[in-house]
Amino acid sequence: MDTSLLFTVALVALAFVLLFSVVKIVPQGREFTVERFGKYTRTLAPGISLLTPFVERVGRRMNMMEQVLDVPQQEVITKDNAMVKVDAIVFIQVMEASAAAYRVENLPYAITQLCMTNLRTVVGSMELDEVLFQRDSINSRLLTVIDAATEPWGVKVNRIEIKDLTPPADITNAMARQMKAEREKRAVITEAEGEKQAAIARAEGAKQSAILQAEGRKEAAFRDAEAREREAEAEAKATAMVSEAIARGDVNAINYFVAQKYVEAFAELARNPTQKTVIVPAEMSGLVGTIAGLGELVGLAREQQQSRPAPTPPAPPRPASPRPPRGGGSVPGT
């Protein structure tokens, strides 16, 4: 009885072993290679598959998802003999499981070393400024080279990125000073531009002010000229009236001119700043008489203008005896 039980247990255990060795479940994102007596025969896709017992077995379990590999930091000498520290990251994906499993040993390590060597080659062929400011160019060149090198391994390199670039300390300090000088230069240029704009604005304002002042002087001169013209017209009319009166033999017209010059001379004498004493002439009574005669002349001219009939031929002038000024004095100004 004990022997039968042991035999049954052995059969059950053998059945489980056969079952697990024959039935294979491949998860999503993975592929298994199948070997028959150590030789690759086929690749198992995700799902359930059956193997020939005691003949076939799973060789390599390959990850078909995209993977990220870290390229270690290394020191690289640039074309202009500057030492920089560079590291990167690589995004790869296995496209053919059999090639990745049997054409290269330790695929991640091989790709990492390939990236490091090509990184030294690419960076070493560029100057420091190009390395610092042309990362995209470095990435594209590395991607082209490494993707072509890994194609026989059944691997697709999707992307390569330079993670860090560290120049020497002295170059970093020089770059910092250069950046500071550049920013100070921009500040000076900005200030100069502001001063230029301010000077232009002030000059424009002065120009507008000068134009307005010139226009004001022009308008004032025009007004002054118009006033002088009207004054001259009025004086011409007055002179014409006085001339007509003189032609008619009216002595008051002569007294008008004499009194006008007399008054102007006396006013100029009074306004003279060097004159300390003003002497009033004794013939003031004669001046009053002259002004009275002037008033009679103006009144007579107004009456004649108001009562002037239709124009008739002028009558011959009648001589009039001059009326001496009151007080027996002579004519002012003589």
11-55 confidence digits (pLDDT tens): 777 777 777 778 888 999 999 999 998 899 999 999 998 888 888
pLDDT at 333: 37
**Predicted confidence (pLDDT) per residue in 147-167, tens digit:** 999 999 999 999 999 988 888
Residue 88 to residue 163: CA distance in whole angstroms = 5
CA-based R_g, the chain, Å: 62
- Give residue 330's pLDDT band: very low, low, confident or very high (50, 70, 90): very low
Residues with Cβ within 8 Å of 247's Cβ and at least 6 positions away in sequence, in order, are 317
Sign of the torsion formed by the C-alpha atoms of 198, 200, 206 and 209 = negative
**Predicted confidence (pLDDT) per residue in 48-102, tens digit:** 988 888 888 898 999 999 999 999 999 998 888 888 999 999 999 999 999 999 9
CA 136 vs CA 18, 133, 150, 159, 311: distances in Å: 55, 9, 21, 11, 110
Strands 47-50 and 67-77: unpaired
Residue 267 to residue 48: CA distance in whole angstroms = 135
pLDDT at 298 over 60: no
Share of the chain above pLDDT 90, in %: 29
**Predicted confidence (pLDDT) per residue in 95-148, tens digit:** 999 999 999 989 999 999 999 999 999 998 988 888 888 888 899 999 999 999
Share of the chain above pLDDT 70, in %: 72
Residue 282 phi, psi (nearest 5) = -75, -15
Mean pLDDT rounded to a whole number for the chain: 79
pLDDT at 285 over 60: no
Residue 285 to residue 289: CA distance in whole angstroms = 6
Q: Which H/E stretch holds residue 156?
A: strand 155-166
Both structure tokens of 14: 């053998």
Q: Could you tell me if 93 and 64 are in contact, meaning their C-beta atoms sit under 8 angstroms apart?
A: yes
Tokens 């240029």 belong to which residue? 189
